[in-house]
Amino acid sequence: MYFMATIKFKTQPFAIGSWTVVLLPKNESVKLPSRGMTMMNGTINGSSFQIPLEPDGRGSHWFEFNKKMQAATKAKVGDTIELEGEPTKEWTEPEVPADLKKALAGAPSAQALWLEITPMARWDWIRWIRFTKSAETRAKRIDVTLSKLKAGKRRPCCFNRGMSTETAVSNQGLLLEPGKVKVAK
């Protein structure tokens, strides 16, 4: 059985570096069917959307409030927005990074399984690949992805799906606090 709960709240988008993000309040996030990534259909200031909710690593979720959403809602960092939505079983297709797309094109059997697996599974592979700051580790993860797909594995193994995997706005799987800019080490 799939738990469908309406989430409704007001909040303010905030900046982390060059990104604008919206953090769901924990009391709304707990209504979602997973502590991991979840898809949601809903409205922001009356404008319809379907968006992937990324875990924040602390038991809640967040999403990128991108330029298209800002234009549609006439809202920006610091403005109050009203969000209402429900989780959905229908997953959008992820944008496949160029390096993974190129690697899949050179591995027909891996690409065949990639095209067969669900969008949710493709999101998992991409999240696992991008959950590193190191170009070398990323390249290794793409190689492992191809190897596992060739072996018939439909999902990546052994990564914490409750962590934020977008390294531009997180550190060690935790979403950065509002206004924090990541400093290169």
Confidence of residue 183 (pLDDT cuts 50, 70, 90): very low
pLDDT of 1 higher than 50? no
d(CA 54, CA 52): 6
Q: Which residues contact 154 (CB under 8 A, 6 or more apart)?
A: 113, 117, 121
d(CA 142, CA 108): 14
Packed helices 135-150 and 98-105: angle between N→C axes, nearest 10 degrees: 40
**151 CB neighbour count, 10 Å cutoff:** 10
Helix, strand, or coil here: 112?
Answer: helix
Confidence of residue 174 (pLDDT cuts 50, 70, 90): very high
- Convert the pLDDT of each residue in 63-100 to its tens digit: 999 999 999 999 999 999 999 999 999 999 999 999 99
Mean pLDDT, rounded, of the chain: 93
Which domains, from first to last, does the chain contain? 7-88 (2.40.30.100), 98-150 (no CATH)
27 by Cβ neighbours in 10 Å (0-12 / 13-18 / 19+) ranks as exposed
Place of tokens 């738990």: 3
- Report pLDDT for 3: 54
Place of tokens 């690697």: 103
- Convert the pLDDT of each residue in 96-155 to its tens digit: 999 999 999 999 999 999 999 999 999 999 999 999 999 999 999 999 999 999 999 999
- Report pLDDT for 21: 97
pLDDT of 4 higher than 80? no
∠ Cα 30 161 47 (to 5°): 55
